[in-house]
Amino acid sequence: MSDNTIDTAELGEKILRVLKTIYDPEIPVDIYELGLIYDVFINEDYEVKILMTLTTPNCPVAETLPLEVEEKVKSLNEVKDAEVEITFDPPWSQELMSEEAKLELGML
């Protein structure tokens, strides 16, 4: 492994840390703990694709939240490009939330 090879697992961790700084404006929990992030793919060129959902298809932040995710992930030095794909399959439900998020929202 050469010195300039980035560990994708390490980059994945950095991406997760960034995702945990992004909040759904209506819920005081970050989008990762809410279960809105379904998958994060990183290819050999350090292009990142994030598969995410929204709490509802007509979510008021449907336009801005994916852009915020893209911009924040792109701001990482190691990331060459980032793209967010929105999916509603499977649709988001409260079961996707972490224990931490449920606790935060008084659901446990």
Residue 98: C-alpha distances to residues 12, 23, 33, 67 (Å): 19, 14, 5, 23
pLDDT score recorded for residue 2:
44
Instruction: Answer whether residue 102 is part of any domain.
Output: no
**Mean pLDDT (whole number) for 29-54:** 96
Where in the chain does DSSP place strands (E)? 37-42, 47-52, 81-86
- Structurally, the chain folds into a number of domains equal to 1
Crossing angle of helices 8-19/64-74, nearest 10°?
Answer: 140
pLDDT of residue 25 exceeding 70, the answer is yes
CA gap 14, 12 in Å, rounded = 5
- Which domain range does residue 55 map to? 8-92
**Mean pLDDT (whole number) for 73-102:** 96
Q: What whole-number percentage of the chain has pLDDT above 90?
A: 76
Whole-model pTM: value is 0.89
Instruction: Answer whether residue 27 is part of any domain.
Output: yes
Place 5 in a pLDDT band, splitting at 50, 70 and 90: low
**Mean pLDDT (whole number) for 29-37:** 96
The CATH number given to whatever domain includes residue 40 is 3.30.300.130
The Cβ-side half-sphere exposure at 71, using a 13 Å CA radius, reads 7
| Contact between residue 83 and residue 50 where contact means Cβ atoms under 8 Å apart | yes
Instruction: Answer whether residue 73 is part of any domain.
Output: yes
Q: Is the dihedral of CA 57, 61, 29, 81 positive or negative?
A: positive
pLDDT score recorded for residue 52:
97
Place 26 in a pLDDT band, splitting at 50, 70 and 90: confident
Q: Can you name the residues that pair with 106 across neighbouring β-strands?
A: none
pLDDT of residue 1 exceeding 60, the answer is no
